[in-house]
Amino acid sequence: MKNKKSGNSFTRRGVVLGGTAAIAGATSVFAQSKSVKAQEPISIAQNQSQSRNNILEGKVALVTGAARGIGRAIAVSLANAGADIAAVDILQDIQGHSVPMATTEDMTQTKQLVEQAGKRFLSLKADIRDLAALKNAVAQTNQQLGAIDILIANAGINSNVGFTTTDETAWKNHWDIVTDVNVIGTANTLRAVTPSMVERKTGNIVIVSSTFGRQGNGTNPAYVASKWSVIGLTKAAAIELSEFGITVNAIAPTAVRTGLGGSQTEQQRAESNEWLQANYHQLPVGLLEPEDIAGTVVFLASPAAKYITGTTIDIAAGANARYTA
Q: Residue 195: helix, strand or coil by DSSP? A: helix
pLDDT digits (tens, 9 = 90+) for 59-108: 999 999 999 999 999 999 999 999 999 999 999 999 999 889 999 999 99
> Rounded to whole angstroms, how far apart are CA atoms 179 and 171?
12
C-beta neighbour count of 177 within 10 angstroms: 18
Query: Is residue 3 assigned to a domain?
Result: no
> Rounded to whole angstroms, how far apart are CA atoms 65 and 75?
10
Residue range(s) defining the domain that contains residue 296:
12-322
Query: Is residue 6 assigned to a domain?
Result: no
Q: What is the value of pTM for the model shown?
A: 0.87
Three-state SS for 126-188 is: CCCCCHHHHHHHHHHHHHHCCCCCEEEECCCCCCCCCCCCCCHHHHHHHHHHHHHHHHHHHHH
Query: Is residue 1 assigned to a domain?
Result: no
Query: Is residue 2 assigned to a domain?
Result: no
Query: Is residue 92 assigned to a domain?
Result: yes
Number of domain units in the chain: 1
> Rounded to whole angstroms, how far apart are CA atoms 320 and 17?
21
Query: Is residue 5 assigned to a domain?
Result: no
pLDDT digits (tens, 9 = 90+) for 130-169: 999 999 999 999 999 999 999 999 999 999 999 999 999 9
Query: Is residue 157 assigned to a domain?
Result: yes
pLDDT at 51 exceeding the cut of 70? no
Query: Is residue 151 assigned to a domain?
Result: yes
pLDDT digits (tens, 9 = 90+) for 97-116: 988 999 999 999 999 999 99
Query: Can you say whether residue 113 is alpha, beta or left, with left for phi > 0 and alpha for psi between -120 and 50 degrees?
Result: alpha
Any idea what the CATH number is for the domain that residue 140 is in? 3.40.50.720
pLDDT value for 262? 60
User: What is the helix (H) or strand (E) element at residue 84, kind and residue range?
Assistant: strand 84-89
pLDDT digits (tens, 9 = 90+) for 258-288: 866 566 688 888 898 999 999 999 999 999 9
C-beta neighbour count of 228 within 10 angstroms: 18
Mean pLDDT, residues 33-40: 34
Residues serving a catalytic function are: 223
